[in-house]
Chain A
């Protein structure tokens, strides 16, 4: 063996080497070149008698193997003699293997002191004496390998072996310390607990097990540990029967009592489960590690503690259960009024804060979030929810400092969750400071805002704790860069308290007097709100979205009616230092104040406006989006559990969407075992996955073929949840990297299509202008276009351009307009989120509701038609009558009218008034088949015996074959209100038009 571990030149002592483990160790060492002192007293396993035969036999065996060895017959209690033997014969000593041992097994009750003493002397004292004699020669040589032999009986205990167990564990302790003392001198010390059948264990283990546990299975570890290339020391191993393992100490994380308080037996009992739990553990490897928890405990005790008001150890780091609050536009407006906004009701900047329909937008004043967070804190306190260890009442508390950081654009209404934590506690001598950190998230868990509320606890300091940082913001010596002076209202506090701070100190004169104030004082956070407005007005153009953070110290009280003077210095762009004074008393009320501003309003990360026309989408793009969606929604697989194979035509491609196996996948090519196969054109596929076509409609229209498990196809619903924005990103990415495959269609096409649909709708509803009485001016952006929708004059008009006298002007992006017109966005929401701007007569804008009645399908189809042709660019004319867009209904009913005139018998067969409500495009016709009034006319009549509602295309089908009525009815495509049986008698429609 090339890399055999050799011991040439090394001298080893193996005690008890006449048989068993010792013999095996000696033979293996001897075979590998060591010169071995084979020590054996030759006694019985109980330590009686003596003979030289055992040692001599092993020496002979080693020599027979070509090794070198001498016998030694001394007792290990004469350890020095054994070591001397090695020095005498070989001149050195490198390895000591303490192996000799005997047993005196008996139960503790029967054990004599002789039993105890004999075992102790052979195992522990004997190992000591041999080792001690070898120690100095090894130290001097700077090299040594020492091995002790312990036992499972010592490690775990064993009945009848109290003496043996004790002696064996004594060896472990001995080895631990020798490993430390010997390390620097090259002396490495290890211990094994052999699991082996030997002379000693024959009596306690069944014979067959003893046979299986050959000493030869132990010696390889011993030999490795004694080799010069092994650096292990202080190790403890269990070995035998092929099993090799190292032991170490494992300690529970335990429980640490604070040293500042009494530690009682009851306290130990109460924590005993924690103390004994191995759920969390450490593995200390030396005495320093063992001490660490105690050292930590000492360190943590320093400088904390507290007093009768505050137990710092208990309170610090406490996290309150989350608290909820919510607000709407009304709360925002009320708050803004409470901090002085709207004093000049013509001030555009203030209207942004108080008027939710304001033309230039409506935004939360960011200081509102401080009021929300502090409100949550106060509410918790009022409900008795205080952090453990804080034993003071609200009467001791003053709001000392406030830090508010806005982390996301603030919505105009939200449900909030506030998570509060005691962040710091400082001892300011007389008073204490308690800093509560409050993280506020919205319903979806996004962080909107972070607050730190520093409360001064009067008279609660003085326990000798940390004073905490003292941050003073020096103000520049130059005159302020901006000053805003604003007088508060005498009823300012009464107004402000409606935003949620109900402390009577701000309203009740008697209560305020009780606190030593001549009258109720203004809320500190009210002044905070005023100052926030002042900074935004002076440095942010009045745009509340620009506030990043604000920090202030409340220095003194303000009385309602006093004049606030805010002096501001722009230290660097976006960083404003300020101070606020009361003019009448020239007292600083807010100090140490810093505001940070954004340069421009931060963008919300959520999807912005709907994507513009994905006209050059390819199947591959869509599948990339689906793959992306799948990655974000790994639960889809468990929900859908189906493999879809897609056969895309024009151009052809095949894709597999596996939502069944593993975490799902999207791959080109056919599936091995699809649950369902869907065949459709690329255009339809894209329309379907971008929400422009309904899978059902495609299916019924014969454009989507489904084979396999039809029920599985129903699960395609999830495709509707795919983010349209993602599709756009994919295309943009492709546009950016690859060559443009097709130039994007002229902008404006899509909104044009919608306006055409509106024009159709107007044509079909000439009564609308009388009802709506409004001229709408549309200003679309991205790309820009202008349209007039006149629903006031004549029969109405929808055309590009600008109106001379619009009643209302609506400004929004083209994408939002399309989303709104196709029912994917709610005008109200667009409006309140600031994406739809309305100027002029707001009430008129409400009449836009009629847009909801425009057939979305028609709009979507118009859209598709436009995309398909890609031709109609330039100016748009209202479509001439009779174009396909008008549907086939007019022609059919005109023909019906003629047929009835020429064949009155037809009417008599039915004899009832029928109403046809046609959709896509929408139109209503009355077919009067009653005697005496036979005729066809547009319109509706509540007297109709039956109303048939169906799509224009289905009417065409019905005319070709009236028998399909039953099928259309069963499929829900023909809806019948009134007498269903009349639908059996539509034969008069056959072959019309």
Chain B
């Protein structure tokens, strides 16, 4: 049995629009200080740092952490597209399991305005196979490439189950409603389903308000072993019950399916393994932070994570089983759609929200009596990290 990994401190910055944030090292050091202070430990207690970001030259992690002090400790820079934050978290957990006592997982992103695009055009694109599959299935347009991919997956789902456009819009409406109570979120203004449907069409069925915005921000988590917590007399009720990362399997490309291409099987497989290792099923989960980069992906993720039967997402949504009063509260933070999606920070911001929920300190967003939390963080290219947290 592996050593138990506790999450003893979390912190994040208020997420901002590109151009309105501090530079990455400032955001990152703020989030790290908040997490350390939350944990009740000092930077001098940290043995290693895993620093995640997608956009920036090499060793931005050091630059950010140096704001806290120059201690000569190992700092690992982590990049795994949109799953970067939870990848850093996973490496930090593995460090604890391998004998480290106290590790900092840090994620940050300073993004540019506009849709995600490729920065390196003189070499093979990491999503080349994904793009080629998409082109085969549906061609390409001038819409943002990720919107074409996740929107195309939505089209495929609609075709199969006849899903109404309103159903997708309801997810965005819920995200805004949840975010209204989250001071860290980028968008606090609620929107109606009508407003969401009436916003500019990006790639049918996606309208503008159904796409997560480019965002700047940082989040951090302090992880430690049981020994460390005991020795230091720290309260450490929250721990990682199970965590699994998956990458693409042949099904992502062989089945000519947009749904598969955008990571459905990665999520499904990771979730199944997490449930097995934790000895708990989806029915035991109280609160979920999942990767709603687009409304279509939130809907697909309900099914991939086993929160509802395949083909049952529309009913699940209209029954209100994804919000307060339903079976689960999904994305109480507002999710990527409303809280924002700074690529490197997202996985750790999800972690922060779930830790707050399990501690019972989530204020107006609090899910009553939450004891089991599930996190799903997905990157095209691809990687999917599913994490289950419990509290003693």
Residues of chain A having any CB pair with chain B under 8 Å: 640-642, 660, 696, 699-700, 709-715, 717, 966, 969-972, 975-984
Query: CB distance B203 to A972 under 8 Å?
Result: yes
Q: Which of chain A's residues have a CB closer than 8 A to the CB of B158?
A: 969, 976, 980
Q: Which of chain A's residues have a CB closer than 8 A to the CB of B125?
A: 709, 711
Query: CB distance A641 to B162 under 8 Å?
Result: no
Q: Which of A711, A717, A971, A984 has the most CB of B within 10 A?
A: A711
* Selected A-B contacts with CB under 8 Å, 25 pairs: A641-B122, A642-B121, A660-B122, A696-B140, A696-B142, A710-B132, A711-B128, A711-B140, A712-B121, A714-B145, A715-B121, A717-B142, A969-B155, A970-B137, A970-B138, A970-B159, A971-B138, A971-B139, A972-B141, A972-B204, A975-B204, A977-B165, A978-B164, A980-B158, A980-B163
Name B138-152 residues within 8 Å CB distance of A. 138-142, 145, 152
Known contacts A641-B122, A660-B122, A711-B125: A699-B139 contact under CB 8 Å: yes
A699 vs B139: C-alpha distance when bound (angstroms): 9
Total A-B residue pairs with C-beta atoms closer than 8 Å? 63
Pick the 8 closest A-B CB pairs, nearest first: A981-B162, A641-B121, A980-B162, A970-B138, A971-B138, A980-B158, A710-B135, A970-B155
Q: Out of B145, B155, B156, name the residue touching A972 (CB < 8 Å).
A: B155
Q: Out of B118, B152, B155, name the residue touching A711 (CB < 8 Å).
A: B118
B131 within 8 A of A: yes
Query: CB distance A711 to B131 under 8 Å?
Result: yes
Q: Distance in Å from the Cβ of B279 to the closest Cβ of chain A? A: 39
Q: Which of chain A's residues have a CB closer than 8 A to the CB of B118?
A: 711
Q: Which of chain B's residues have a CB closer than 8 A to the CB of A640?
A: 121
A982 vs B162: C-alpha distance when bound (angstroms): 8
Interface majority SS (helix, strand, loop, mixed), chain A: helix
B258 within 8 A of A: yes
Query: CB distance A696 to B162 under 8 Å?
Result: no
Query: CB distance A979 to B121 under 8 Å?
Result: no
Q: Distance in Å from the Cβ of A753 to the closest Cβ of chain B? A: 26
A979: nearest residue on chain B (CB-CB)? Answer: B162
A309 vs B213: C-alpha distance when bound (angstroms): 56
Query: CB distance B204 to A696 under 8 Å?
Result: no
Q: How large is the interface on B (under 10, 10 to 19, 20 to 34, 35 or more residues)?
A: 20 to 34
Q: Which of chain A's residues have a CB closer than 8 A to the CB of B258?
A: 970
Q: Out of A660, A710, A981, name the residue touching B131 (CB < 8 Å).
A: A710
Q: Which of chain A's residues have a CB closer than 8 A to the CB of B135?
A: 710
A975 vs B203: C-alpha distance when bound (angstroms): 11
Q: Which of chain B's residues have a CB closer than 8 A to the CB of A710?
A: 131-132, 135, 140
Query: CB distance B155 to A696 under 8 Å?
Result: no
A125 vs B135: C-alpha distance when bound (angstroms): 92
A706: nearest residue on chain B (CB-CB)? Answer: B135
Query: CB distance A972 to B138 under 8 Å?
Result: yes
Query: CB distance B159 to A983 under 8 Å?
Result: yes
Q: Which of chain A's residues have a CB closer than 8 A to the CB of B165?
A: 977
Query: CB distance A696 to B152 under 8 Å?
Result: no
Q: Which of A641, A660, A970, A977 has the most CB of B within 10 A?
A: A970
Known contacts A711-B128, A717-B142: A966-B122 contact under CB 8 Å: no
Known contacts A711-B128, A980-B162: A970-B156 contact under CB 8 Å: yes
Q: Which of B125, B141, B159 has the most CB of A within 10 A?
A: B159
A700 vs B141: C-alpha distance when bound (angstroms): 10
Q: Out of A700, A976, A978, name the residue touching B139 (CB < 8 Å).
A: A700
Q: Distance in Å from the Cβ of B165 to the closest Cβ of chain A? A: 7
Q: Which of chain A's residues have a CB closer than 8 A to the CB of B159?
A: 966, 969-970, 980, 983-984
Q: Which of chain A's residues have a CB closer than 8 A to the CB of B128?
A: 709, 711
A977 vs B205: C-alpha distance when bound (angstroms): 10
A640 vs B225: C-alpha distance when bound (angstroms): 49
Q: Chain B, 221-261, contact with A by CB distance < 8 Å: what is the 0/1 string?
A: 00000000000000000000000000000000000001000
Q: Which of chain A's residues have a CB closer than 8 A to the CB of B156?
A: 970
Q: Which of chain B's residues have a CB closer than 8 A to the CB of A971?
A: 138-139
Query: CB distance A696 to B139 under 8 Å?
Result: yes
Q: Distance in Å from the Cβ of B138 to the closest Cβ of chain A? A: 5
Q: Distance in Å from the Cβ of A168 to the closest Cβ of chain B? A: 49
Query: CB distance B162 to A970 under 8 Å?
Result: no
Q: Which of B132, B156, B158, B258 has the most CB of A within 10 A?
A: B158
A511 vs B164: C-alpha distance when bound (angstroms): 71
B157: nearest residue on chain A (CB-CB)? Answer: A980
A981 vs B128: C-alpha distance when bound (angstroms): 32
A699 vs B125: C-alpha distance when bound (angstroms): 22
Q: Which of chain A's residues have a CB closer than 8 A to the CB of B142?
A: 696, 714, 717
A562 vs B152: C-alpha distance when bound (angstroms): 74
A711 vs B120: C-alpha distance when bound (angstroms): 12
Q: Which of chain B's residues have a CB closer than 8 A to the CB of A641?
A: 121-122
Q: Distance in Å from the Cβ of A677 to the closest Cβ of chain B? A: 15
Q: Distance in Å from the Cβ of B198 to the closest Cβ of chain A? A: 14
B163: nearest residue on chain A (CB-CB)? Answer: A980
A439 vs B164: C-alpha distance when bound (angstroms): 58
Query: CB distance B141 to A696 under 8 Å?
Result: yes
Q: Which of chain B's residues have a CB closer than 8 A to the CB of A966?
A: 159
Q: Which of chain B's residues have a CB closer than 8 A to the CB of A980?
A: 158-159, 161-163
A713 vs B125: C-alpha distance when bound (angstroms): 14
Q: Which of A699, A966, A976 has the most CB of B within 10 A?
A: A976
Name B264-296 residues within 8 Å CB distance of A. none
Q: Which of chain B's residues have a CB closer than 8 A to the CB of A712?
A: 121
A717 vs B128: C-alpha distance when bound (angstroms): 20
Q: Distance in Å from the Cβ of B291 to the closest Cβ of chain A? A: 23
Q: Distance in Å from the Cβ of B135 to the closest Cβ of chain A? A: 5
Q: Which of chain A's residues have a CB closer than 8 A to the CB of B138?
A: 970-972
Q: Which of chain A's residues have a CB closer than 8 A to the CB of B152?
A: 970
Q: Which of chain B's residues have a CB closer than 8 A to the CB of A709?
A: 125, 128
Query: CB distance B140 to A714 under 8 Å?
Result: yes
Q: Chain B, 102-146, contact with A by CB distance < 8 Å: what is the 0/1 string?
A: 000000000000000010011001001001100101111110010
A980 vs B141: C-alpha distance when bound (angstroms): 22
Q: Which of chain A's residues have a CB closer than 8 A to the CB of B132?
A: 710
A222 vs B4: C-alpha distance when bound (angstroms): 84
B132: nearest residue on chain A (CB-CB)? Answer: A710
